[in-house]
Amino acid sequence: DTNSIAVSLGQGDGTFGPPAVFPAGAFPWAIAMGDLGGDSRLDVIVSIPSPPSLGILMGNGDGTFAAPSYVSLSQYPQHLTLVRLDGDADLDLIAVHPGADSFSVLLGNGDGTFLAPMPHGVGAYPARAALGDIDHDGDLDIAVSNADGGSVAVLIGSAYGTFHPPSYYAVGSWPQEVLFADFDQDGHLDLCVADYYGGTISLLRGLGDGALQPAEHYDAGAYPRSLAAGDFDGDTDLDLFVGNAEDDYSSVLINLTASPGAGPHPGARGGSTLRLRATNPSVAAPVIRFALEAPDEVSLTIFDHTGRIVDRLWEGRLGAGEHAFRWDARPSARSGCPGSAARTGCPGSASRIVRPEGGSPERGLAAGAYFCRLVAGGRSAASRIVIVP
């Protein structure tokens, strides 16, 4: 309620100086920064909900800003992205309007001003936008999460800052942040979506021609909202950091693409919505649970933090309903009790390898973080398993 923004200058040692406050308009919400004037100085754009407008603060080059100028809009801009869309050197602006089920493109003039907004309808209550070249034509394309519709809209871009009509892809419940990155290292951008109410991340693999594959879903904890990609385990492929809005924690999803067998099951078909759960942390023998809506071919695999397969709990067909597998945290040891929440033996299940009670192999796995991946019905899910000493 101060109607301002605060800027704290970096000290060069990981700390920041005291904040300097600059007026920015009534109830500023989102911020984007970039060189709007072509003078190598960072400027600031602020979204203002009422009246719907943009506050533009031109940088002085010394950490201070000039008084804001304002651009009126017809709808409140909740999310802002600065990017070059039309081939010139000027930054352009993408503004997402949840109340209008649309986003707008404002082409920059290179002097801190913009041309009139060009609106694009996308779906119910859009939340966030991401840009990337998913068809390899040199022009940026856009993905917009439609929170109220459980979908993402993908629009192919042109060299002029315009976009073609959207294609829609189903994702999880109340999608928020969207992120383009090449997670499977095939040279094509993939799309990740944070499914806020679903507690999952949706991964849509890019085909390189502007189209995306149907979503795969991965467990991401409660209320995932923000996403960032990076190589967190040093194996050269991109992993995913997830900011969880509640419960005071964040999640890291390790990319297992490089492991043999880590991809979707070749015979999998569309069907079940997968939710994978494992007891955490566990001294030994965590129980891994999931449900199938219909009978299907199932793969249940354990990986270590490097993406190496350490155990295959199940490969084969399972019936509809609840399933539970107990992993004794030892290499190549399996026990499973489909249809049972916690049984440790499966009488009558000759096709399963069940470790006898009291039996133990000579060598166990080290304490640490492991990852379980379930593939069934054309979908996949993953869950972290923590083994403590």
Looking at the predicted structure, is the pLDDT value of residue 271 above 50? no
**Residue 303, pLDDT score:** 78
Please report, rounded to a whole number, the percentage of residues in the chain having pLDDT higher than 70: 80
Side chain identity at residue 351, one-letter code: S
Q: Which amino acid is at 339?
A: G
Confidence of residue 301 (pLDDT cuts 50, 70, 90): confident
- Is the predicted pLDDT of residue 281 greater than 70, yes or no? no
| 81: pLDDT strictly greater than 80 | yes
According to CATH, where is 2.60.40 located in the chain? 277-387
Backbone angles phi, psi at 254, to 5 degrees: -80, 135
CA gap 167, 149 in Å, rounded: 13
Q: What is the pLDDT of residue 292?
A: 86
For the segment 194-204, the average pLDDT, to the nearest whole number, is: 94
pLDDT in tens, 352-382: 332 322 333 333 567 777 778 888 876 777 7
For domain 122-255, give its CATH number from 3.90.1150.10, 2.130.10.10, 3.40.920.10, 3.30.300.30.
2.130.10.10
Mean pLDDT of 33-49: 95
What whole-number distance in Å separates Cα of residue 10 and Cα of residue 4?
20
Domain 277-387 has CATH 2.60.40: yes
pLDDT at 90 over 60: yes
Q: For 5-39, how does the pLDDT look when each residue is reduced to its tens digit (9 = 90+)? A: 999 999 999 899 999 999 998 889 999 999 999 99
DSSP assignment of 165-189: PPEEEE-SSSEEEEEEE-SS-SSS-
| Cβ pair 156, 165 in contact under 8 A | no
- Residue 206: phi and psi, rounded to 5, are -80, 145
User: What pLDDT is attached to residue 56?
Assistant: 96
The boundaries of every CATH 2.130.10.10 domain in the chain are: 122-255
